[in-house]
A and B are shown apart, each in its own frame.
Chain A
Amino acid sequence: MDYNFQFSELWPYTNLIVDGLLWTIALTLITTILGCLLGTLGAAARAGRNKLLKHLVGAYVELIRNTPFIVQLFFIFFGLPSIGIKLTAWEAGLLAMVINLGAYSTEIIRAGIEATPKGQLEAARTLGLSRVQTFIRVVLPPALQTIYPALTSQCIIVMLGSAVLSQISVQELTFAANFIQSRNFLSFEVYLVVALLYLALAVLMRQLFKVVHYYAFPNLRARK
């Protein structure tokens, strides 16, 4: 292989890469918060009494989990305008990410909820807690603790999936990479650097989730 790697040629583009990185982080942050919120609501609906809502959420989860993210993105960005819903690339990208994470986290949190021992529900009823109170105070906290590792992994997967947003011209990290390689043709160098940045981001996210876990579930600290 007679090829000289020219990583130093990337220095002039540092700004672009940093901008892209920041946008990827911002997108991930908003998606993580909204997606997990949506997932909690979805899981609540799945565990609730309303039959119609239950099946609707079930259909939503199956539909999202069994189609590729890029197709969901294209459908939202290209398809929805034809029925009058016009979104900018940012909005479409963010919406697709939130909807995607929402479906997966619904399924993950639901699994945690189902693991609640029946005695706890009965005890909560006996103490006179309403269904909503029971859900928020009795069922949800231990459920979230149980499924926390799975939720962490899913949020990281969604962060990695955000690379696809470059295809609808959202200017995140991969978009920056595509732009740079179209200028200097150093595709391998650019993509390698950016891939390593994603890797660093994934490692960082995992640590960050651990920190959040430490403060969110103080009851688990003593046990370690």
Chain B
Amino acid sequence: MSAFTDWDILRNLLLAARWTVALSLIAFAGGALVGLLLTFMQISGRVVLVQMTRLYVELFQGTPLLMQLFLVFFGISLFGIDVSPWTAAALALTLFSSAYLTEIWRGCIESIPKGQWEASRCLGLNYVEVMYHIILPQALRIAIAPTVGFSVQIVKGTALASIIGFVELTKAGTMLNNATFEPFKVFGFVALIYFLLCYPLSVASRMLERKLHASG
């Protein structure tokens, strides 16, 4: 029965881990794009835009990621579009991460003292100039550490894509477990690979926080 050696298990898991990485990258890039848009909506000061963004963030932070995946997966097919697990997962994770990134970035921009806004406006800079020359460079510096920290949540979030049938690391683990009946080993390996993906990001986030806060 044991046609699978340890190396076979590990090799197949590593092959599947590529999809975890790809999905994470797409979710992060997509989430950053949508998140950036939402952040600007939120700091625009227009009541309607602010309220809309707040509702969006509340919805995505108040419901399980699994529900978001299901709703995107089954919701798109209501339009008669045949959606693959891959598309659904990428879309759901993009929306999920955009909500969290918006919240992080809004906090960073709002943490810049108000006096700087006022001083810049007094100097005759317009909104775009204030943003571009004064606020964003400082906010960006503060935002780096928590953003890297959140990327860990994205990598871990991709594990849920396995439930709607996308074959990434976790799904590969379940499939290999069904073939080998060695859950302890298989899920141990799966956890190890996730750890190797996430731990460097965690460490980097902590280091960046220390470095950027000490001198800033």
Contact = CB atoms under 8 A, between A and B. Distances in A.
A63 B198 CA distance: 10
Given A164-B66, A167-B163, A69 B156 contact: yes
Interface residues of B, number: 43
Contacts of B191: 63, 67, 71-72, 75
Contact of A67 (B66, B80, B162, B194): B194
Given A1-B79, A191-B70, A70 B64 contact: no
Interface string B66-92: 111011001100111000000000000
Contacts of A164: 64, 66, 160, 163
A64 B59 CA distance: 26
A68 interface: yes
A74 B71 CA distance: 24
A163 interface: yes
B190 interface: yes
Interface string B156-179: 111110110000001001100100
Contact of A62 (B157, B160, B173, B199): B199
B132 to A, nearest CB: 32
B184 A79 contact: yes
B65 interface: yes
B118 interface: no
Nearest to B152: A66
Contact of B199 (A3, A66, A162): A66
A187 interface: yes
Contacts of A66: 152, 156, 194-195, 198-199, 202
Contacts of B202: 62, 65-66
A73 to B, nearest CB: 9
Nearest to A63: B195
A70 B152 CA distance: 15
A3 B81 CA distance: 12
B67 A68 contact: no
Contacts of B159: 68-71
A161 B64 CA distance: 6
B67 A74 contact: no
B40 to A, nearest CB: 24
A20 to B, nearest CB: 13
B71 A188 contact: yes
Nearest to B81: A1
A5 to B, nearest CB: 9
A105 interface: no
Interface in B134-169: 152, 155-160, 162-163
Which of B59, B155, B163 has its CB near the most chain A CB atoms (within 10 A)? B163
The 5 closest A-B pairs by CB, nearest first: A68-B159, A78-B183, A66-B198, A163-B64, A195-B67
5 contacts: A67-B156, A70-B163, A74-B187, A79-B188, A198-B63
Interface of B: 58-59, 61-68, 70-71, 74-75, 78-80, 152, 155-160, 162-163, 170, 173-174, 177, 182-184, 186-188, 190-191, 194-195, 198-199, 202
Interface of A: 1, 3, 62-63, 65-72, 74-75, 78-83, 156, 160-164, 166-167, 174, 177, 187-188, 191-192, 194-196, 198-199, 202-203
Given A68-B156, A83-B184, 6 more contacts: A3-B78, A65-B202, A69-B156, A75-B188, A174-B67, A198-B67
